[in-house]
Structure formats: structure tokens, C-alpha cells
Amino acid sequence: MRTATAYRGSIFYFKDSATFENIPTSKKENDHSQYVYLEDGVLIIEAGKVSAVGPYDELKEKIKNMKQVNYGDKLITPGFIDTHQHSTQSSIVAAYGEHLLEWLDDYVFPGESIYDNPESAKADINFFLDHLLRNGTTTAVSYGPLFYEAADLFFEELNKRNMRFITGNILMDKDSPDYLRLTTQDNYDISKRLIEKWNNKNRLSYCLSPRFALSCTEEIMELCGALKKEHPDLYIQTHLDENVAEVEAVKKEYPWSKNYLDVYNRFGLVTERTVLGHCIHLTDAELEKMKETKAIVSWCPISNNFLGSGLFNVERVLKYTHNITLGTDWGGGNSLSMFAVMDDAYKVAMLQNYKLPSMKRWYMATFGAAKSLQLDSKIGNFTPGKEADFIVIDPKASPFLKYRSEKVNDIFELLFILMTLGDEKVISATYILGEPAYQAV
């Protein structure tokens, strides 16, 4: 027998019709048409999906005989979507003093080597996933381990946890240390096996994941293009225009290319299901191509600041595409909290004299990302029928947050202080398909 559970609390989500453009930027606009904010609301979950949502007063009769969980004035909202992260880099987060290319050699490659051992891989992966859920992220586009056993194990653990996730084995077949170098054929074979086993299995999607142009031969990129043709629903993720020295090196390595994006485009890897991390140093021609292909940007401000990569110019990119999502780039990014990402996105925009309103950033980290990933019919808001991945946020989690949140006047201000002052301690609970996956003690 199906049993429904009613969660009572303050509720916020974007409506299906919301877009980056039509979301109001402040209460002054008095426009409630693109979001729902209920100070005393009820979210009813049945068989892992949203069955109803509305004001408590309207639903109190209906829920009388249901199991009820009362979160008081805590905020119930869809889980975050992180569109760029490295599941294998927890052990090197917060390492000192290098820019991208040296960082990879000195920290990332040695750190990822533990993944050749399934035992240590399993422990590391589960630590990572627990930490992700503790931060309120329910879906991610993530780089998985290079080796088959560890990558398979990652899918296995995600499947056990029922998470909606987009990932794949990271691909690299050149300019890497011996202990991480697989042949082109090995890389390809691993991808093929994992696609067959995991793509579209339950809530999992396989993602072709060439690390970046400097780690990949033309041959492996060509094979990725062939796999994408064979399986058009595959996602693709890679890095683009992160660091000036990297952009220069790509130019030298691929003298035939018009620009960095052109390298990937040559092999059919720039599509509307391609997530491109960073995109800081884009040329106009690259932006035109992003617009034409509807490729997805993953802006990773905490990583960009930490590695000194540069300032993403959101105002400029928005002139070409609204497919801008947010990523932690866990590894280079020193936090798995989307609050930290939204906070740094604001600061990076401010450094360039551009204001990025709270609700627009929240949209980029939730429903906007679901839309860009073509997952909005499944996740990202509370329209009945959607999969019930949601989080419970405590706006009074610390003495100062309590003090400050008691002074806010509307949802715009509340979201703003949460993303400016919040971190993992603000997350009271994370639910996956209506089941508790993390609960603060």
C-alpha cells in the first residue's frame, strides 16, 4: 500500500514556466508568477514523487490522516544541482599555491592514483557522497574515476542511493603520469562497458568525460564523437578556457584549431548535452558557437578564485546564452556547498560592476540547471509528478543567522542571506526520492 507523507514548513520553488529572464529580481516587482513561496505550506510525497503542494490552510483536511513531519519555519526547497565537480579529488581539496597546470601535476594526479585500488576507492567515494548530501546537493554532473573497477563502483554506490546523477570515467591518454595513463583503447573500452551497464539505468546517466584537450589525443576525442553518435542521449563534460596558460598550450597543441572550443567541436563534442566547465577566457567566436549549439556553461567561481584562473564575465556571456549553470569544481573548488558557489558568483559579478540577484542565482543552482540538462520534467521544482529530491534549510542554524534572518522582509532577502552566510550547517535534511538521505543530528 502506498503511504503518503506530508511535510509542513516554509516552501519555496520555481514554477515550470520560470526562465532566467522572467524571474523577478526583487519584491518591488510584485511578480509572483514564476515562483511559489508559502510561509506555512505543505509538501505531500507519495511513492517518491510530489503528489501535492500548497498552503497549510488549504491542505490541512487532506493530510489529517497522513504521516506528518513538521519542520516549523524551516525552508523546504528542491535540492541543489552542481554541474561540475570531481568525485575523486576530495583528498587534495585545500592544497596550497598553484595555478591550474602545475596544480594538476603536483596534486590532482597523485591524489587520483588511490583509485586504482577498489578498497580505497570505495571508502573515498562514499565519504564524498555523504559530504555531498550533507551540503544539500541531490544531483550533479561529476567526473568519475579513470579506472573501470572504481568507476563501476561509483555508479554502483550512486545506484544504491537512488541519486539522479550524470557521470562517467574521466578520460585521459596523454601527458599524464604513468600510474594514470591508460591506452586510448583502454579508455574507450571502459567507456563502452560503463555505457552498456549504466546509461539510463534507474536514475543514472552516463557522461563522456574527456578531462580536457591537453590530456586527450585526437584519437580518443574522435572515439568520444563516435560514441555520442551511437548513443545520442549521452551527456558530455569537459573543461574550456579556464586558465590563460592552458589556452595558450591548447593553441600550440592544436595549431589547426580556430579556438579552444573548436578542438572539441571538430570531434562532434559540442552539443546541447555538453557541459563546459569554467568558460572564463571565451572569444566572441566561441560564444557564438555556444549560442548556436546550446552547449551548457558551468561557472565555477570558488575554484576560479582559488586557482587564480580569472573572473567569469556573466554579463557578457548572458548576451549569448542563458544556459549558465553553477558548479563547485570540488577539487579546485574548496567547498561542496552551493551556497559558497552562489556567494562567490555574486562577488565575481560585483568585481565587474554587475549585480546578480539572489533569485537568479538560486535558479541557476536548481531549476535552471535542471532545464539546461533537460531534466526539468523530472527534477528541480515541486510541480506534482516530479521526483521528490528536496532539502530542508534552517535559516536559524547559527546565532548570527538567527539574528540576521529575523530581520529579513521577504524571500529575496532570505535567499540572499542564506547564500551569503550559509554553509553545510544550514542543511537540516536532504531527501532523495522522498526518503531521508541525510539528517543533521
Residues in contact with Zn ion by CB under 5 A are 277, 329
- 145 vs 277 by CB, closer to Zn ion: 277
- Shortest Cβ 168–Zn ion spacing (Å): 14
Taking the least distance from each CB to Zn ion, the nearer of 238 and 428 is 238
Q: Which residues contact 239 (CB under 8 A, 6 or more apart)?
A: 211, 212, 276, 277, 278
Residue 152 or 246 having the CB closest to Zn ion:
246
CA-nearest of 138, 140, 163, 134 to 427 is 134
The CB density around residue 405, as the number of other CB atoms within 10 Å, is 21
Nearer Cβ to Zn ion (80/212): 212
Nearer to Zn ion, 238 or 372 (CB): 238
Q: How far apart are the C-alpha atoms of 327 and 265, rounded to whole Å?
A: 22
Contact 255, 227 (CB under 8 A): no
Phi-psi domain of 337 (left: phi exceeds 0; alpha: psi -120 through 50; beta: other): beta
Q: Which is nearer to Zn ion, 211 or 386 (by Cβ)? A: 211
Can you tell me the distance from the alpha carbon of 324 to that of 79, in angstroms, rounded to the nearest whole number? 18
In the chain, the N- to C-terminal Cα span, in Å, equals 30
Q: Shortest distance, CB of residue 327 to Zn ion, whole angstroms?
A: 8
Determine what percent of the chain falls in helix, strand and coil, rounding each to the nearest 5.
Answer: 40, 25, 35
Q: Which residue number, 267 or 306, has a Cβ lying nearer to Zn ion?
A: 306
Q: What is the DSSP string of 3-46?
A: -EEEEEEEEEEE-TT--TTTS-SSGGG---TTEEEEEEEEEEEE
Q: H helices within 231-366, ranges in order? A: 244-253, 260-266, 284-293, 301-306, 314-318, 338-351, 358-364
Q: Which amino acid is at 347?
A: K
Q: How far is the CB of 186 from Zn ion (least distance, A)?
A: 22
Q: Is the dihedral of CA 20, 379, 2, 39 positive or negative?
A: negative
Please answer whether residues 48 and 387 qualify as being in contact, where contact means their C-beta atoms are separated by less than 8 angstroms: yes
Q: How far is the CB of 86 from Zn ion (least distance, A)?
A: 6
CB of 329 to Zn ion, least distance (A): 4
Residue number with CB closer to Zn ion (143 or 155):
143
> Are the C-beta atoms of 235 and 208 separated by less than 8 Å?
yes
CB of 394 to Zn ion, least distance (A): 30
Return the number of the residue (43 or 275) whose C-beta is nearest Zn ion: 275
Q: In what order do the strands lie in the sheet with 164-171?
A: 80-86, 137-144, 164-171, 204-210, 235-240, 274-278, 296-299, 324-326
Q: How far is the CB of 74 from Zn ion (least distance, A)?
A: 33
Q: How far is the CB of 303 from Zn ion (least distance, A)?
A: 7
Distances (CA, A) of 136 to 63, 99, 339, 402: 26, 29, 10, 20
Report the residue number, 277 or 301, with the smaller CB distance to Zn ion. Answer: 277
Q: What region, left, alpha or beta, does residue 277 occupy, with left being phi > 0 and alpha being psi -120 to 50 degrees?
A: beta
For the CB of residue 83, give the shortest distance to Zn ion in the complex, in Å: 11
What is the distance between the alpha carbons of residues 322 and 295, in angstroms, rounded to a whole number? 10
Shortest Å, Cβ 239 to Zn ion: 6
- CB-nearest residue to Zn ion: 329
Nearer to Zn ion, 329 or 376 (CB): 329
Shortest Cβ distance from residue 241 to Zn ion (Å)?
12
**E strands within 47-109?**
49-55, 67-78, 80-86
